[in-house]
Amino acid sequence: AECTRSNNKTGRMSTVMAKLQGFDFWKNTLKEARFVVAPMVDQSELAWRLLSRRHGAQLCYTPMLHAQVFVRDANYRKENLYNEVCEEDRPLITQFCANDPEVFLQAALLAQDYCDAIDLNLGCPQMIAKRGHYGVFLQDEWELLEKMVRLANEKLSVPITCKIRVFKEVEKTVRYAQMLEKAGCQLLTVHGRTKDQKGAMTGIASWEHIKAVRKAVNIPVFANGNIQHLSDVERCIQETGVQGVMSAEGNLHNPALFEGCSPPVWEMAEEYLEVVKQYPPCTLSYVRAHLFKLWHHTLQIHQDLREELAKVKTLEGLADVSKQLRLRCQDAEEKKGGLPFPHWICQPYVRPPPKEPVANGNSQGSEVKKTVCQKRALEDSDGTADTLSKNKQKKRSRNPNKNFCPEQKPKYIKCDQCGNPKGNKCVFNLCRGCCKKKAYKEVADCPSHLQKHCLCTTLLYKHDLLPPSGPITVAAFDIVTMFTYLFMEVHFQPCCPYEVH
């Protein structure tokens, strides 16, 4: 179907294709895509999408973009979408997180000319999504979601799609999907895990929920979860009846997953680095994160290369690490650690189950803390500019004489009452605040912390000239101080070595 519309910039009439819906959209625009790369924050950037497409992926999503930031920040739009336009990178769906219908619509209108559909993220379970009130934390606000999807479906020139997580109850999940379909959703991606299944508690995705949704709606459905090999893709389609399968973690550890092969890790790394050079700019942190994923198993064997990978600051340095990895792993090695392939072969990462808590605390938390300490060892033990983080480098430039090595930092004795560092010469082993309170309450003097107003007030307390508890104005205090000073000159010698002026 065709229609005509006027171009606001030129005033000319142009012929455009009418917006396709449902299965027509999947068949014609998405070319019946079955192998899909998931939207991944800081991970599904242009270079990685192109690498995945060259190895079997038929449809890709952008990383999740924040609708409100996308609307107000032109640089954010350029860096995350406008500068990543590439003919090879189609079909493409742009995903947004949002909780306001108007803001979501504005962002979608700004993005619709650069993609084939707009996706609403209703599946992110991370803490940042909870604080921002988006993603899966909107799944109970059906009235709001219906309004967001309906408005986008009415105003956009491209289809609106949604990515959701399931509820524990299959029936509620089905009603949820039907509500989105009725509001105007043209394609639904169902992640077969609940809101609480994340991190160490990820668990197994429920294909039963996905199958029930597929039977209940009349729009294309993509399945997400439990995809580690091409055989999993085929089995998922057969068991659930979905139109396509989306992969996230599996794709990060093996970009050739949809080809059904497992190449050496350095081959994927070198090809990815070539794509990054061909399609700049790409943030170095994104590239480094991808290499850590690709080399996850082999870096357990070659710990020195892991440290080198963490330190290098250029693409050339990353390429050198890849060459070293290739040279070390040229000779075939036997499988180790229960892996299905040798460690230098692309293969899925299976998250270990959470450990049982021990009597004196959570063992898992201590392991996480230990890992974090190991990751920061390079920065903490060596204060060179090559190993310090960007934040510490900035701090060092502002404070060149400051010591950033924790082992060499001075150790302070804590205050007996509050835990803050105590005064070095305080006779009561207290910090300044606690010492001041003690001097007022107990009529005691500390040569280290005593100031003019402390001494005068203490003397007033001694001679009942000022009630221990009660406000006093500045003017009244100055008058009383003057009389106290005269009284001291006549009758007393100060017990403090400091003179009163």
Does residue 50 carry a pLDDT above 60?
Answer: yes
String of DSSP letters for 288-320: HHHHHHHTTTGGGT-HHHHHHHHH--SHHHHHH
Out of 97, 115, 124, 162, the active site residue is 124
String of DSSP letters for 250-270: HHHH-TTGGGT---BHHHHHH
Of 21-35, 223-237, 280-294, 383-397, the range with the lowest mean pLDDT is 383-397
Residue 124 designated active-site: yes
What would the two tokens of residue 82 be? 């406008």
265 or 16, higher pLDDT: 265
Of 215-224, 403-412, 484-493, the range with the lowest mean pLDDT is 484-493
**CATH class of the region 2-261:** alpha beta
Indicate the pairing of strand 65-66 with strand 117-122.
Answer: unpaired
The residues that bridge with 6 in the sheet, in sequence order, are 13
String of DSSP letters for 2-40: EEEEE-TTT--EEEEEPPP-HHHIIIIISTT--EEEPP-
Alpha helices in 202-283 (DSSP H): 207-216, 230-240, 249-253, 265-278
Best CA proximity match to 111, nearest among 143, 144, 63, 146: 63
Percentage of the chain modeled with pLDDT above 70? 74
Distance CA 37, CA 247 (A): 5
Contact indicator for 205, 192 with CB cutoff of 8 Å: yes
Quickly state the pLDDT bin for 274 (edges 50, 70, 90).
very high
* pTM (2 d.p.): 0.70
Quickly state the pLDDT bin for 473 (edges 50, 70, 90).
very low
Q: State mean pLDDT over 32-56.
A: 95
Does residue 362 carry a pLDDT above 70?
Answer: no
Quickly state the pLDDT bin for 11 (edges 50, 70, 90).
very low
Quickly state the pLDDT bin for 499 (edges 50, 70, 90).
very low
Distance CA 447, CA 125 (A): 57
Q: Tens digits of per-residue pLDDT, 138-148?
A: 999 999 999 99
Q: CA torsion 128→132→138→140, rounded to 10°?
A: 90
Whole-number average pLDDT of the chain: 81
Best CA proximity match to 231, nearest among 210, 212, 209, 247: 247
Q: Which residue has the tokens 């221990």?
A: 468
Q: Tens digits of per-residue pLDDT, 154-206?
A: 999 999 999 999 999 999 999 999 999 999 999 999 999 999 988 777 888 99
Q: Tens digits of per-residue pLDDT, 281-307?
A: 788 999 999 999 999 988 988 899 999
Per-residue pLDDT, 26: 97
Quote the distance between the C-alpha of residue 466 and its chain's center. 57
Of 147-151, 299-303, 375-379, the range with the lowest mean pLDDT is 375-379
The residues that bridge with 62 in the sheet, in sequence order, are none
Contact indicator for 412, 421 with CB cutoff of 8 Å: yes
Q: Which residue has the tokens 């090559």?
A: 386
Per-residue pLDDT, 17: 61
Indicate the pairing of strand 160-165 with strand 187-191.
Answer: parallel
